[in-house]
Amino acid sequence: MKKIAIFASGSGTNLQSIVDYIKQGTLQAEIALVVCDQPGAFAIERAKKENIPTFIFKAKDYENKVAFETEIVKELRERDVEFIVLAGYMRLIGETLLSAYSHKIVNIHPSLLPAFPGKDAIGQAFNAGVKITGVTIHYVDEGMDTGPIIAQQAVDILDGDTRDTLQVRIQDTEHWLYPDVLRKILA
Ligand code: GRF
């Protein structure tokens, strides 16, 4: 059983869906650690409820990115984590983590990359007036949402959609696509 870590900064709905797939037996993996850079994030509550160990930090308590990523790598190694799953982790991954987990970090992004990288991809697509957007899962490199693409799923933008209704459909898509792709990658 592969040991994975999930990195989150926010509500953790993707974390929850991965947990649920594991509990149902449709994804074979063990979440050995949840890493979170926002001490108030609801993702932490979800991890605690599931008895998943957490490493919670504040970037400003460290001198720089190398310092906190060195600490994260130590935590990951202590728990024999083999693979990192970014699920709403709002920081660029630095050289320390990238070299320790080369080609073993994946991210989910709520657009069809390379369209609409960065923050608020759903709002960006909505405001651009495109008729199709979607979800991308990709390997992580040093760029912002730029690594090799693993999977994409289109989501139509419907007449009458608001940014919020679109977000609901994008997130519903994320919640089955991520566990599905992880099942294939971790097999
Ligand atoms: C998701 O939309 C994901 O694509 C993006 O951040 C959001 C995280 O949501 N990278 P959640 O914390 O999993 O609910």
Q: Looking only at Cα atoms, what is the longest distance across the chain? A: 50
Closest Cα to atom 1, ligand 1: which residue? 88
Which atom of ligand 1 is closest in space to residue 17's alpha carbon? 13
Which residue's C-alpha comes closest to atom 2 of ligand 1? 110
pLDDT in tens, 103-115: 999 999 999 999 9
Q: What is the pLDDT of residues 119-159, one digit of tens each?
A: 999 999 999 999 999 999 999 999 999 999 999 999 999 99
CB-count burial class (<10 Å; 0-12, 13-18, 19+) for 34? buried
Q: What is the mean pLDDT of residues 39-57?
A: 98
For residues 17 and 6, give the distance between their C-alpha atoms in angstroms, rounded to a whole number.
12
Query: Which of 67-71's residues contact partners 24+ apart within 8 Å by CB, and which partners?
Result: 69/93, 69/94, 69/96, 69/97, 70/96
- pLDDT for position 57: 98
Q: Which residues contact 149 (CB under 8 A, 6 or more apart)?
A: 113, 136, 137, 138
User: Is the dihedral angle over the CA atoms 13, 145, 152, 165 positive or is it negative?
Assistant: positive
Note if 109 is an active site residue.
yes
Evaluate whether 123 touches 43 at the Cβ level (below 8 Å): no
For range 37-51, the mean pLDDT: 98
Query: What domains, with CATH codes, occur in the chain?
Result: 2-186 (3.40.50.170)
**Average pLDDT of every residue of the chain:** 98
Q: Which tens digits make up the pLDDT trace of 1-23?
A: 999 999 999 999 999 999 999 99
Q: Which amino acid type is present at position 33?
A: L
Atom in ligand 1 nearest the alpha carbon of residue 110: 4
Asked if residue 88 has its Cβ within 6 Å of ligand 1, the reply is yes
* Entry pTM: 0.97
94: exposed, middle or buried (C-beta count within 10 Å: 0-12, 13-18, 19+)? middle
What percent of the chain is predicted at pLDDT more than 70?
100
Residue 34, both tokens: 């949840």
- The count of other CB atoms within 10 Å of the CB of residue 99 is 10
